[in-house]
Amino acid sequence: MEVDRDVQPGSLAVLPVVRTISVFVALPFETDIAVSHFANAAAAASAIATSLESAGYLVQTTRVIANRFLEWTSPAEAATLCHAIVAAMDAAAPGRSNLLNLGRLTAADAVDAGTLSTALSLLSACDRISMSGDLPAGSIAAAGGYAQLIKDLSATRPDGFGNFQFCVSSNMPAHSPFFPAGFTTADSAPPSFALGLQHVGLCTSVVRGRSFTTDDGSLAEDGLSACEAALSAGLNAACKRASDIAQSAAAAYHTKQYAADAGRFEVPLLYRGVDTSLAPSPADATVCELYRSLGCPHFGCAGSLEVSAMLTRVLKGISSVPLTGYCGLMLPPLEDTGLAADAAAGRYTLRDILLHSAVCGIGLDTVPIPGDASVASIAGLLRDVAALSSRWSLKPLSVRVFPVPGATAGDMTTFDSPHLTNTTVFAL
């Protein structure tokens, strides 16, 4: 059966949601300048957001991402300073959903009880603060430290939602706009920014009305390549349009602010590009529609790994804009209604997500696990992902799991958040 290859690369029937405009700031150890740097970054992100909104985009969040917080503050001053930073960001960008990332902990931090205590205090005190931890393969003690932090964070909320703000990553490059894995480095200058788009809805609109299967519902001979071409055309056009608007807005903001106060941004914001990762949301279409369009009745069935590999080729092959961050297929069970339903129906397991991470994706993201999961078992999971990351050409992977207090494998979660849907608790 011949499939529909009619692709119109310039047409955007559905605009992607702008999940985030993230500005990266690298700070020295000078707390007296930290607040103003973050406020200026929030104002710049807000200006870029305003331009995108004027062009018809929905902008969900504006974010400021720093280098490791212990490089610019002390444990004793961190809580007070971060409170002041969040307040200053809100004052500089009123009406925005301003989020703050405190950078990436090191493996050495993960074995320091004082640093882990400070991280726990900061993350539990404010739900707009995020951070991540770096885990090189083979770091047994660091994995244990991060696992203990994950357990401690789960206890800060009755539903385990505290881990929404923390992940452990391996071989993660700097300057992903997505939380909580995004970070910058102390030597990253000048300030820069990147876009994170939520374009599952755009992708599903591209495949609707096109046939990639035979009459019996199985994948057509050239179905996969036709779908790949259609998605590539649509995403290249979408990323370029949003990217062009954002870059123009950043240049205009710099010109305006430099004229008013040369100290705010002495050089233009460097544009890092777009993290093209599919970023599902409960309010958006489901990524499972892409699998169904290619003959896979549900995620995790035979043939779905091939589809995941194709989707990753599309995301990593976007050529119309600079790329930054993961640029991979996100498969978060708590952020995608289709994935949540398939998990609740027992159609895939945690190990299936890990398998797909070998050809795509970002690792294990928003995966609920039993509340009584031991530190040792969580640490083993972290090490598994780190090993997979290192085995495949330093592939960026991360782990964000939610131990749910009082829940066992097979129970349904009861999150009450616009950011999450509900699904079954996965067995480790």
How much is the pLDDT for 406?
96
Q: Which amino acid is at 107?
A: A
How much is the pLDDT for 3?
35
Position 5 confidence tier, pLDDT thresholds 50, 70, 90: very low
pLDDT greater than 60 at residue 4: no
Mean pLDDT in the chain? 92
Contact 13, 205 (CB under 8 A): yes
Query: 202: Cβ–Cβ under 8 A, 6 or more apart, which residues?
Result: 12, 14, 15, 16, 234, 235, 238
Q: Which helix H or strand E contains 307, and what residues bound it?
A: helix 304-316
How much is the pLDDT for 261?
55
How much is the pLDDT for 1?
31
| pLDDT tens by residue, 124-141 | 999 999 999 999 999 999
Give the Cα separation of 105 and 169 in Å (integer). 10
pLDDT greater than 70 at residue 262: no
How much is the pLDDT for 134?
98
Please report, rounded to a whole number, the percentage of residues in the chain having pLDDT higher than 90. 83
Residue 128 burial (CB < 10 Å; 0-12/13-18/19+)? middle
User: What's the pTM value of the predicted model, to 2 decimals?
Assistant: 0.93
Give the Cα separation of 26 and 184 in Å (integer). 7
pLDDT, average across residues 258-278:
73
* Domain-wise residue ranges, the chain: 17-192
pLDDT greater than 90 at residue 72: yes
How much is the pLDDT for 391?
86
| pLDDT tens by residue, 361-400 | 789 999 999 999 999 999 999 999 999 999 877 789 999 9
| pLDDT tens by residue, 173-184 | 999 999 999 999
Position 266 confidence tier, pLDDT thresholds 50, 70, 90: low
pLDDT greater than 60 at residue 8: no
How much is the pLDDT for 267?
62
| pLDDT tens by residue, 13-35 | 689 999 999 999 998 887 677 89
pLDDT greater than 70 at residue 169: yes
| pLDDT tens by residue, 216-254 | 999 999 999 999 999 999 999 999 999 999 999 999 887
